[in-house]
Amino acid sequence: MSAPVVGTAIPWTPGWAPEAVDDLRARLRSTRRALSSFGHAWSEGTDPSYLTGLLAYWADGFDFAQGEAEVARHPWFEADVACGAQSPLRLRFIHLRGAERTGGRAPLPLLLCHGWPDSAWRYQDVIDQLADPASHGGDPDESFDVVVPDMPGYGFSPAPGQVIDSIGVAHAFAALMRDLGYERYAVAGGDIGSSVARFIALEHPADVVAVHRMDAGIPVFAGEPATLSAEERAFLDAAAAWAAREGAYAAMHRTKPATIAAALSDSPAGLAAWTVEKLHAWSDSSHGPVGGFTRDAILSLLTTVWTENSTGPSMRMYRANAAIPADQHSRRVEVPSGFSFFPADLLTPPRAWLERIANVTSVSYPGSGGHFAPREAPEVYAQELRAFFRSSW
């Protein structure tokens, strides 16, 4: 297959290189277990007994061919997109055309933005519901053309040849949507994808009909504290407490990403422990110890990260984002904005904070799900998007 030229998307098929899978299985079978304190379960990180079982299954139980087919079940493409004065970026992405609405009307284009430690994987179980709601008990007039790119250096998108932050990704994604022929579209995201969605709305407001976010990001405030409400001050305090309790991973990513990348890129056991601990901590524990994710779902994510060697590039983005100037964080999104705060996610800001940062038209609090809601509770997430974007069709 010839390489795409800038502005041209061509079909592309995702896959896991057989030699990389063979090497992975050999490494898994020779894993040296860490010495752990007794009985800590998840309190000191990934539960050793859970990890042992997961690694054994990854080596000798996981069906790599079936997992690869599952990853490729939606139509994938690749494109080189312009990124300002920097070199073009190659993006690989899912693009599923939605079902035609009544009267021959076109579906609403929807760009979905993921975060760390995942990729388009986050949205795999919700794509079909969004593209063809009638086949899933929904309103046929609420169909989307769904576009789900892997961010540069995440999933199957190659590592960028330059430093790139959320603003750069926002420009690249906006260029991709233009290249696909969409002049106006909806945007949704969570985690780093929430930041990317925010910057698309800030930098390309004429292109965005509305933006939906699963979080408001880690709060940054450089103004006078006296101007904050008591609820907002409590929210900032809660965010600082969360960072002290749970944010060691992020501190490592934004300060010394090359150090931890060297370890995780050489050890599938280390990669699994680093990732699964977050799947556990950030998901709805009522669904199971790791948010109800099946082992196959977890290993689909991990196998892509391993075979693409994307650990270092994905973590490097934290360092790039830490260098975004402070004044960028105080910009208010004027595009109509909606938020869905799932109960097991990291932080829930007060309405006053949301009004400070965005033109809020909707806030909802679904009853189940967490940080990875599109994968944990796809039916709930699909309904949240349909409800918010209902006025945009």
The position carrying tokens 């907002």 is 232
Distance CA 346, CA 381 (A): 17
Euclidean distance between the first and final Cα of the chain, in Å?
A: 37
pLDDT range class, residue 39, cuts 50, 70, 90: low
pTM above 0.75, yes or no: yes
pLDDT range class, residue 86, cuts 50, 70, 90: confident
pLDDT tens figures, 298-315: 999 999 999 999 999 999
Percentage of the chain lying above the pLDDT 70 cut: 98
Distance CA 44, CA 318 (A): 23
Q: What is the pLDDT of residue 193?
A: 98
pLDDT tens figures, 170-207: 999 999 999 999 999 999 999 999 999 999 999 999 99
Q: What is the pLDDT of residue 304?
A: 98
Q: What is the pLDDT of residue 1?
A: 52
| β-sheet with 185-189: strand ranges across | 9-11, 76-83, 86-96, 144-149, 108-113, 185-189, 208-213, 333-340, 358-364
* Mean pLDDT, residues 142-149: 98
Which residue type does 89 have?
Answer: L
Q: Which two tokens stand for residue 146?
A: 């769904």
Cα of 278 vs its chain's centroid, Å: 13
Q: Answer whether 376's CB lies under 8 Å from 282's CB.
A: no
Q: Which of 337, 386, 391 is nearest to 131 (CA)?
A: 386
Q: Reply yes or no on whether the pLDDT at 221 is more than 60.
A: yes
Q: Hey, which bits of the chain come out as E strands?
A: 9-11, 76-83, 86-96, 108-113, 144-149, 185-189, 208-213, 333-340, 358-364
* Mean pLDDT, residues 65-80: 98
Q: Reply yes or no on whether the pLDDT at 121 is more than 60.
A: yes
Q: What is the pLDDT of residue 37?
A: 61
Q: What is the pLDDT of residue 2?
A: 66
Q: Which two tokens stand for residue 183?
A: 């002049």
Q: Which two tokens stand for residue 171?
A: 């420009």
Q: Answer whether 302's CB lies under 8 Å from 58's CB.
A: yes
Q: Answer whether 303's CB lies under 8 Å from 329's CB.
A: no
Q: Which two tokens stand for residue 80?
A: 């080189």
Q: Answer whether 145's CB lies under 8 Å from 151's CB.
A: no
Quick one: 2 exposed, middle or buried, by C-beta within 10 A (0-12, 13-18, 19+)? exposed
Q: Which residues, other chains included, contact 148 with Cβ-Cβ below 8 Å and sequence gap of 6+?
A: 93, 94, 95, 111, 112, 114, 120, 123, 127
Q: How far from 266 is each of 260, 270, 306, CA to CA, in Å?
A: 10, 8, 9
pLDDT tens figures, 366-380: 999 999 999 999 999
User: What are the structural domains, with CATH classification, of the chain?
Assistant: 9-27+70-392 (3.40.50.1820)
